[in-house]
């Protein structure tokens, strides 16, 4: 796969695509000016990161190694590739650095995806959705420079403004604004094409973060996953989040449990053109947690277990009916 040029000189998008509902295929943005190069987010495993580096070598003038990396947040699909840029400065928010210890490690992912029981819904789901990734040999490399609030830097002639917008998708989300190019790299506060997942929440905070992106008045918004959108795409995404918040709160008010509420929302055909409907289960559990239901789990593996339960049941019901 090659990089694609984005809005003016010096910006190149690495945009891996898979089937609807894929996990781990995050957009990365290469910024280059003069002999300086920066990369916003790094891929999920060694194979993808080496492919990105090879694509950059085909595109960039020789002698422009990546000197600066930005991680929009601490999820592995945005930072596991850090390990393959030795010597680079790695910038992220202080809250993302603190979040690193709560993330699922590459070793845990390797076990879950390739060694857990495929007859159990979580093992089945991990293989179905993450089976293409190989996490062996990945060392988690945390940020070397952290900030609170905002942080500006230059890549050659290109100005990059980092703005902390978390907690929303995770505790430490940041977006990268390139005012001269009219581009925002939004990380996972914005998804396109699939239902989103937001680990931290609540949905009102994700709305606030997406509104902060909109306020930057950029023409091109690069979501963490999916195609580049414009301001109208962000507005549509905000209305999705508000719809879902309303659907969840209404069922919480009626006394439904979190899993039953999510299954009921999905049975009603909630935004059926989007992939990964099981993420609605995760979002519902997180929203219930913020609504004061302390028994609703918010750890990643517990949330994945609930989503896998829905996906497994739905998959087998569909197979039986088809
Ligand atoms: Zn992601």
pLDDT at residue 63, as a whole number: 65
Please tell me the total count of domains within the chain: 1
- 64 or 1, higher pLDDT: 1
CATH number at residue 29: 3.60.15.10
Q: Let me know how long the chain is.
A: 322
**Dist. CA 61 → ligand 1 center (Å):** 29
pLDDT at residue 319, as a whole number: 67
Q: Can you read off the two tokens belonging to residue 82?
A: 């850090």
pLDDT at residue 198, as a whole number: 96
pLDDT at residue 167, as a whole number: 96
245-270 mean pLDDT: 97
Is the pLDDT score of 305 beyond 70?
A: yes
**Dist. CA 28 → ligand 1 center (Å):** 10
296-321 mean pLDDT: 86
pLDDT at residue 298, as a whole number: 79
Helix (H, G, I), strand (E, B) or coil at 110: helix
Point out the least confidently predicted range of 16-25, 205-214, 243-252.
Answer: 16-25
**Dist. CA 32 → ligand 1 center (Å):** 23
**Dist. CA 177 → ligand 1 center (Å):** 18
216-231 mean pLDDT: 98
**Dist. CA 255 → ligand 1 center (Å):** 32
pLDDT at residue 321, as a whole number: 67
Is the pLDDT score of 98 beyond 70?
A: yes
Q: Chain-wide mean pLDDT for the chain?
A: 94
Q: Can you read off the two tokens belonging to residue 144?
A: 């070397």
- 48-87: per-residue pLDDT in tens? 999 999 999 988 877 678 999 999 999 999 999 999 999 9
- 161-171: per-residue pLDDT in tens? 999 999 999 99
Half-sphere exposure of 302 (CA within 13 A, CB side): 12
**Dist. CA 119 → ligand 1 center (Å):** 27
**Dist. CA 282 → ligand 1 center (Å):** 15
**Dist. CA 63 → ligand 1 center (Å):** 30
Is-contact 63 52, C-beta < 8 A? no
**Dist. CA 74 → ligand 1 center (Å):** 9
pLDDT at residue 19, as a whole number: 84
- How far lies 266's CA from each of 26, 104, 117, 128, 307, in Å? 25, 27, 27, 20, 12
**Dist. CA 254 → ligand 1 center (Å):** 33
How far is the C-alpha of 285 from the C-alpha of 166, rounded, in Å? 19
Is-contact 90 69, C-beta < 8 A? yes
pLDDT at residue 13, as a whole number: 97
**Dist. CA 196 → ligand 1 center (Å):** 9
Confidence band (pLDDT; 50, 70, 90) for 317? confident
Is the pLDDT score of 278 beyond 80?
A: yes
**Dist. CA 62 → ligand 1 center (Å):** 30
- 137-151: per-residue pLDDT in tens? 899 999 999 999 999
Is the pLDDT score of 88 beyond 70?
A: yes
Helix (H, G, I), strand (E, B) or coil at 176: strand
Confidence band (pLDDT; 50, 70, 90) for 322? low
29 Cβ contact partners less than 8 Å away, ≥ 6 residues apart: 6, 11, 12, 13, 14, 39, 40, 41, 176, 183, 185, 222
Q: Which domain holds residue 85?
A: 4-321
Confidence band (pLDDT; 50, 70, 90) for 8? confident
**Dist. CA 75 → ligand 1 center (Å):** 6
**Dist. CA 100 → ligand 1 center (Å):** 14
């Amino acid at each position: 796969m090659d990089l694609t040029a984005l809005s003016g000189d010096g910006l190149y998008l690495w945009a891996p695509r898979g089937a609807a509902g894929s996990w781990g295929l995050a957009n990365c943005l290469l910024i280059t000016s003069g002999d300086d190069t920066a990369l916003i987010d790094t891929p999920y495993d060694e194979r993808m990161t080496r492919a990105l580096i090879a694509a950059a070598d085909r595109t960039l003038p020789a002698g422009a190694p990546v000197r600066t990396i930005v991680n929009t947040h601490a999820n592995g699909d945005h930072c596991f590739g850090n390990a393959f840029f030795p010597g680079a400065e790695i910038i992220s928010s202080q809250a993302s650095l603190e979040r690193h210890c709560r993330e699922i490690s590459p070793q845990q992912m390797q076990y879950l995806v390739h060694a857990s029981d495929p007859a159990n819904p979580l093992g089945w789901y991990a293989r179905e959705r993450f089976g293409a990734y190989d996490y062996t040999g990945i060392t988690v490399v945390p940020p070397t420079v952290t900030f609170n609030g905002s942080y500006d830097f230059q890549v050659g002639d290109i100005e990059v403004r980092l703005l902390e917008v978390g907690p929303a998708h995770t505790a430490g989300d940041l977006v990268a604004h390139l005012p001269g190019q009219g581009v925002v790299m939004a990380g996972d506060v914005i998804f396109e094409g699939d239902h989103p997942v937001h680990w931290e929440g609540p949905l009102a905070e994700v709305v606030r973060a997406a509104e902060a992106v909109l306020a930057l008045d950029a023409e091109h918004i690069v979501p963490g996953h999916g195609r580049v959108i414009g301001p109208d795409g962000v507005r549509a995404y905000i209305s999705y989040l508000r719809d879902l918040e309303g659907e969840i709160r209404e069922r919480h008010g009626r006394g439904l449990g979190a899993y039953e509420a999510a299954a009921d929302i999905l049975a009603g055909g909630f935004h059926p053109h989007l992939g990964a409907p099981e993420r609605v289960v995760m979002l519902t559990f997180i929203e219930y947690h913020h609504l004061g239901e302390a028994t609703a789990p918010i750890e990643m593996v517990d949330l994945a277990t609930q989503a896998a339960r829905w996906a497994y049941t739905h998959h087998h019901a569909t197979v039986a009916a088809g």
